[in-house]
Structure 1
Amino acid sequence: MGTTTPQRRQRHDPVERRKQLIGIGLQMLTERPLHEITVDAVAAQAGISRTLLFHYFPTKQDFYAEVVRAAGRRMLRAAFPAGRDSPSELDDVTDGYLSFIERRHELYTGLFRGTAPGDWLHDIAQETRTQMVDQLLLTLGIQRPAPMVRAAIGAWLSFAEELCLDWAAHRPGNRDRVLALLRGSLRNVVELADGDSN
């Protein structure tokens, strides 16, 4: 009669373990506010000790920051399906951005709005906004934007955010109308901002 060899506990590669822990944090973030996520709950779900979690993230804030950055990357992937440093179609961008906020408007509000300069959440929100502006310039085929054009696209993002959040919460109009407004306003803003350089 054969004998079975006991299975050894699988050890995770550090990079994979970090990804696993961030993934658990992201999943929890869809269910509760950031401040209600505890490192103890994350560690327990991962099957590790709290002490081991702090081997991968020096502090609780470091862990939270990586989870929020991952949430920002998810939004960027939703808005720019062609991937980083590749141009996406403007129709896909506006539809993806609106869809993300439609599904996650409470999460988006909690993470990216109402923060003050100097706050770590504010800094991550600004990082994400800068990446969105860069990707929008790529989508629009603008290789060397004038400072006014970059500033105008950043201001358009504030408008788009407000419009999408209001629509997601209150549904004041037709979805296609919102998308048309997003696309048309972006084109108009860029054209007007670029007027001095023509």
Structure 2
Amino acid sequence: MSTRIRLSPEDRRAQLIALGVELIATRTLDEVSIDLLAEEAGVSRGLLYHYFGGKQEFLLAVLRHMADELFLATAPVDHPDLVHRLRVSLVNYLGFVRDHHTAYLSFMQTARGGSSPEVRAIYEDGRGALTDRIFDSATADELAVFGIADTPSSRLFARGWSAMVEDVLMAWLDDARGLTEDELIDSLTFSLGGVLGVVAR
């Protein structure tokens, strides 16, 4: 006779969030419902309301989890060369977006559309954490190789660079236009110095 494993509230909540990530991998955010989640998870609607309060709260929890996972996936590797670290992070960023393409696209479009301030806040906070880490994980000498100084204006333009990276990656996944992955990553890597070098001057 099988024994049913009783999950802790934290583990059950994490399980439901993981299922939510799977659901939005093949559906837009608007297509996910509490009824669908309850059916897929094999739990009652009441249990979902107990953990999340409703659909909006559930989706926000899923998107926060996705933003956290992206941050972890793109963590700088232990290497003395900033260019190498940035390149590896971009490779991992591309891999994450490729593996979660539908979900990430829906996240991005909802955030940029402005219909949900909460979704936009998660999106912008995630982007800020990624770009701030470029400066926080590098020394002044390493940044200087790129012609970059850690200033408020540089961090501001780094946010703009990250938007360009995101747009280029999403467009490339739809149509590579003859550009190899290595060429794409190299161009994005060195474009950071081009953008922020101008700001420094």
State the TM-score bracket (shorter-chain normalisation). Answer: 0.7 to 0.9
Work out whether residues 24 and 102 of structure 2, in 8 Å CA contact, stay in contact via their aligned partners in 1.
no
1:179 aligned to 179, 182, 185, which one? Answer: 185
TM-score (ref. length: structure 1): 0.82
For residues 142-198 of structure 1, give each alpha carbon's deviation from its aligned partner in whole angstroms, at most 9, with x where no partner exists: 599311110110010111111111111111112211111111111222333233xxx
- 2:111 is equivalent to residue 106 of structure 1: no
Written as runs of structure 1 = structure 2, the 5 A alignment for 1:50-69 is 50-69=45-64
2:120 aligned to 119, 122, 143, which one? Answer: 122
Written as runs of structure 1 = structure 2, the 5 A alignment for 1:9-24 is 9-24=4-19
Written as runs of structure 1 = structure 2, the 5 A alignment for 1:46-195 is 46-80=41-75, 82=77, 89-113=85-109, 114-116=112-114, 119-141=117-139, 145-172=150-177, 173-195=179-201
Work out whether residues 26 and 102 of structure 2, in 8 Å CA contact, stay in contact via their aligned partners in 1.
no
Identity of aligned residues (%): 26
Larger Rg, first or second structure (1 or 2):
1
RMSD of aligned Cα (Å):
2.6
Larger displacement relative to structure 2 (9-18 or 100-109): 100-109
For residues 29-84 of structure 1, give each alpha carbon's deviation from its aligned partner in whole angstroms, at most 9, with x where no partner exists: 1121122122223223333211011111122211010011112222222322659x
Distance 1:140 1:163 in 2: 25
Moved over 4 A (4+): none
TM-score (ref. length: structure 2): 0.81
Distance 2:27 2:102 in 1: 10
